[in-house]
Chains A and B, each alone.
Chain A
Amino acid sequence: MPAPLAIRGYWKDFDWSLFGAALCLALIGLTEIYSATKTVPGDLSFAKQTIFVCGGVLLAFIVASIDYHAIAEHIPWIYLGSLAVLVYTPLGARRIAGAKSWISLGPFNIQPSELIKMVVIVAMARYLSELHVRGYLSFSQIAKAVLLCAAPMGLILFQPDMGTALSYTPILIAGLFLRGLRPKLVVSVVVILLLLAPIAWFVAKDFLKPHQIDRIQTFLDPSRDPQGEGFQVQQSKIAIGSGGFLGKGIFNGSQNQLGFLPARHTDFIVSVVGEEMGFIGIAVTLGLLGFILFRSLYNAQTARDSLGMFIILGVVAVYFFHMVVNVSMVIGFFPVVGIPLPFLSYGGSSILTAFIGLGLVISVKRRRYVN
Chain B
Amino acid sequence: MQREELTLLRTRISGFVYVIAAALTLLAIGFWHFQVAQSSRYAELADKNRFKQIPLIARRGKILDREGRPLVDNRPSYNVVYMREGSRHTVEEVASMLANGLGMPREELIDRIEKNKNQPKFRPIILKEDVNASDIAFVNARQYEFQDEISIEYQPRRRYLENELAAHAIGYLGEVTPNDLKKPELKQHKAGDQIGKAGLERVYDAILRGTDGYRLVLVDNHQREVEKLGEEKAISGNDIRTTLDLDLMRAAEEALKGQVGAVIALDPSTGDILVLASKPAFDPTLFASKIPASALQALNKDPRKPFLNRVIQSQYAPGSVFKIFMAAAGLEMDVINPLEHVNCTGVETINGVTKHCWKSGGHGSVSLYEAIVNSCNVFFYNVGKDLDIDKIAYFAQELGLGRKTGIDLPDEKSGLIPSREWKARAYKTKSKSQQTWYPTETLDVSIGQGAVSLTPLQAAWAMGGLASGGRLVQPHLVDPEMLKKNGFAAQKLLVDNYKVRAATVDILSRGMLGVVNEGTGTAAKVPGFDVAGKTGTAQVVGRQSYGKSEDFEDNAWFVGFAPYRNPEIVVAVFVEHGGHGGSAAAPIAHAIFDTYYRKKTGQFNVQSNGPVAQVRP
Question: Is B16 a contact of A134 with CB atoms below 8 Å?
Answer: no
Task: From the candidates B9, B32, B226, name the one contacting A306 in the complex (CB within 8 A).
Answer: B9
B42 at the interface (CB under 8 A from A): yes
Indicate with 1 or 0, residue by residue over B1-29, a CB within 8 angstroms of chain A CB atoms.
Answer: 11011101110111111011101100110
A240 at the interface (CB under 8 A from B): yes
Question: Is A286 a contact of B46 with CB atoms below 8 Å?
Answer: no
B36: chain A residues at CB < 8 Å are 244-245, 279
Task: From the candidates A226, A235, A279, name the one contacting B31 in the complex (CB within 8 A).
Answer: A279
Question: Is A297 a contact of B17 with CB atoms below 8 Å?
Answer: yes
Question: Is B41 a contact of A301 with CB atoms below 8 Å?
Answer: no
Contact (A134, B5) CB under 8 Å given A282-B35, A320-B20, A324-B27: yes
CA distance A226 to B47 in the complex (A): 24
Task: From the candidates A132, A238, A289, name the one contacting B46 in the complex (CB within 8 A).
Answer: A238
B38 at the interface (CB under 8 A from A): yes
A313: chain B residues at CB < 8 Å are 13, 16
Query: What is the count of residue pairs linking A and B with beta-carbon distances less than 8 angstroms?
Result: 131
B605 at the interface (CB under 8 A from A): no
Task: From the candidates B9, B21, B27, B220, name the one contacting A309 in the complex (CB within 8 A).
Answer: B9
A interface, size bucket: 35 or more
**How distant is B12 from chain A, measured CB to nearest CB, in Å?**
5
CA distance A278 to B24 in the complex (A): 17
A11 at the interface (CB under 8 A from B): no
CA distance A297 to B14 in the complex (A): 8
A243 at the interface (CB under 8 A from B): yes
B219 at the interface (CB under 8 A from A): yes
Task: From the candidates A134, A243, A309, A333, name the one contacting B13 in the complex (CB within 8 A).
Answer: A309
Which segment of A51-59, A62-70, A206-214, A255-263 sits at the interface? A255-263
B122 at the interface (CB under 8 A from A): no
**How distant is B83 from chain A, measured CB to nearest CB, in Å?**
14
B222 at the interface (CB under 8 A from A): yes
A293 at the interface (CB under 8 A from B): yes
Which residue in chain B gives the minimum CB-CB distance to A300? B13
Question: Is A241 a contact of B34 with CB atoms below 8 Å?
Answer: yes
CA distance A244 to B41 in the complex (A): 10
B566 at the interface (CB under 8 A from A): no
B545 at the interface (CB under 8 A from A): no
**How distant is A355 from chain B, measured CB to nearest CB, in Å?**
20
Q: Which residues of A pack against B, CB within 8 Å?
A: 132, 134, 174, 177-178, 180, 225-226, 228, 231, 235, 237-245, 254-255, 258-260, 274, 278-279, 282-283, 286, 289-290, 293-294, 297, 300-301, 305-306, 309, 313, 316, 320, 324, 327-328, 331, 333
What are some 19 contacts across the A-B interface (CB < 8 A)?
A178-B13, A241-B35, A241-B45, A243-B35, A260-B50, A260-B221, A278-B35, A279-B31, A282-B35, A286-B28, A289-B24, A305-B2, A306-B5, A309-B6, A309-B9, A313-B16, A320-B20, A324-B27, A331-B30
Instruction: Name 15 extra pairs, CB < 8 A, besides A258-B49, A297-B20, A331-B31.
Output: A177-B12, A241-B42, A242-B42, A244-B43, A245-B36, A245-B39, A254-B49, A255-B46, A258-B50, A259-B221, A274-B34, A279-B35, A297-B13, A320-B19, A327-B27
